[in-house]
Amino acid sequence: MEQQCINVIQTMAPCLTSSGVDPGLAQFISILIGVVLVALFPLVLVILLIWMERKVAARVQDRLGPNRVGPFGLFQNIADALKLIIKEDITPAGADRTIFNLAPIIATLSTTMMWAVIPFSPVNIGVDLSIGVLYFTAIGSIGTLAIMMAGWSSNNKYALLGAFRVVAALVSYEVPMVLALLVPVMIAGTLSMQSLVVAQQGMWFIVPAFVSALLFYISNLAETGRAPFDLIEAESELVAGYNIEYSGMKFGLFMANEFMHAFTANLLFAVIFLGGWSGPGATEVPLLGFIYLFLKTGALYIPSLILRATVPRVRIDQMMGFNWKFLVPVAIVNVVVVAFLLQVTKALGIAPVPGETDFLANLPQALVLFVGNLLTIAVALEMIRRFGRQARSETSGAAVVIAEAHDVPSAAH
């Protein structure tokens, strides 16, 4: 009995069973606690995330940020959440009530459910699905549906227009994201999240697949609606976007979901490209793996907050053009190049045996793939440079024509 209860986190069900609980019930209790913990964690974490986001944004803009409620203003968001909860809940006239109320719930659900497949440590994972990578992509696409429902049911033209724009962008950016995920899956030969992390013991995938990492990062910025792709909230042109009619905690859910989604995206990046929980001593002490994972995520998340506070917003046509004319072709070429190089390394015999955790054994293949990635990105950048130069010469030419037609001094001279 003592043997099984030494580490309750890993062996909850056997421990309960040995102390006289029915095995079925023990299993159920253990799963229930797991589900509640995994689902509650992001919901509680988001309070801290919003505080962090406001502090970082404030520092970028040379302000102090929240600093009145609690130490360092930490409790500001709890006060804000209370305010949102006790606000009047308004449903606009002519709104489709059921769908209107369902939309924020589905939005939050789609982000929370992603946490089910994230491996926090060698032993702690909600459920290690054999198709984990596909699972979170699929669940993420349900969030798009929530935006559509919110925009349509509000019975408001601005909300509907905002939803159209956002959904078009989100559906488009799913293409490079899925293609980028294909590369680590090909290298590891598995779709399960836990096996992906195990496959990175020797070499983090950001080295052999850094084009994919870049594509995944950019398309995640768009998927989560962060600057420079934050067209979800275009105050300047659509008043507020799809959530214009929402008030009180329903709006709060949408807002919390946005922050949660941004953090989840960085967490997934850390799991897929930065080795997840792997680090010295993580296999012996699971708690260390948990700390490593969140350190890696934080190292990604804080620069993304600075990025958000720094860069301006792009236009919707630029956003779509960038996706379909640049990201998608690069992603397809990248998949072909990596698939080819993987076979080449296998034929040359320098590919590591599956499950190899030694850094040096993984190095030759990673280097070959790294060079392939460099070539891909060099060609892509050269093409975009030419395209940009051509576009600039065309517009300056057009400016001359317009200026001459109106008989005013041209600004292009």
Partner 1 sequence: MLELNAQTIAFFIFALFALGGALGVVTSRNLIHGALYLIVSLFGGAGFFVLLSAPFMAVVQVLVYIGAIAILIIFAVMLTRGMTQMSEILNRQWWMSAIVGVLLFVMLGLGVILPVWGENGINPNRPVSDNVATTEDLGVALVDGNQYVLPFQVASLLLTGAMIGAIVLARDTE
Buried/exposed code over 123-144 (b: 16+ C-beta within 10 A; e: otherwise): ebbbeebeebbebbbebbeebb
- Give the single-character DSSP code of 119: B
d(CA 377, CA 382): 8
The amino acid occupying position 404 is: E
Q: Does 134 bind partner 1 (CB under 8 A)?
A: yes
152 binds partner 1, rule: CB under 8 A: yes
Q: Is 142 in the site for partner 1 (CB under 8 A)?
A: yes
Q: How many CA atoms lie less than 13 Å away from 59 in the CB half-sphere?
A: 10
Among 41, 164, 217, 294, binds partner 1 (CB under 8 A): 164
Task: Quote the least distance from Cβ 36 to partner 1, whole Å.
Answer: 18
User: Which x/- pattern over 180-209 shows residues binding partner 1 (rule: CB under 8 A)?
Assistant: -----------x------------------
One of 108, 112, 144, 362 touching partner 1 (CB under 8 A) = 144
What ranges in 274-322 are assigned the alpha helix state H? 286-310, 316-322
Stretch that binds partner 1, among 59-67, 144-152, 219-227, 231-239 (CB under 8 A): 144-152
Residue 164 CA: distances (Å) to CA of 38, 141, 232, 315: 32, 15, 10, 15
Considering only 33, 82, 171, 348, the residue that binds partner 1 (CB under 8 A) is 171
Asked if 174 is part of the footprint of partner 1 (rule: CB under 8 A), the reply reads yes
Residue 149 found at the interface with partner 1 (CB under 8 A)? yes
One residue of 12, 52, 139, 265 binding partner 1 per CB under 8 A: 139
> Is 50 or 103 the residue whose CB approaches partner 1 more closely?
103
**Cα(263)–Cα(273) distance, integer angstroms:** 15
In the complex, the smallest distance separating the C-beta of residue 26 from partner 1, rounded to whole angstroms, is: 15
Q: Least distance from C-beta 194 to partner 1, angstroms?
A: 15
Label residue 290 exposed, middle or buried (CB < 10 Å: 0-12, 13-18, 19+). middle
In the complex with partner 1, which residue's Cβ is closer, 99 or 291? 99
Taking the chain, what is the end-to-end CA distance rounded to the nearest angstrom?
Answer: 86
Query: For residue 177, which of 373, 323, 305 has the smallest C-alpha distance?
Result: 323
**What is the residue type of 174?**
E
Per-residue CA distances from 56 to 53, 64, 218, 235 (Å): 5, 9, 21, 21
By beta-carbon proximity to partner 1, the closer residue of 339 and 411 is 339
Taking CB under 8 A as the criterion, the residue among 11, 67, 91, 141 binding partner 1 is: 141
Q: Which residues bind partner 1 (CB under 8 A)?
A: 96, 99, 129-131, 134-135, 137-139, 141-142, 144-145, 148-149, 152, 160, 164, 167-168, 171, 174, 191
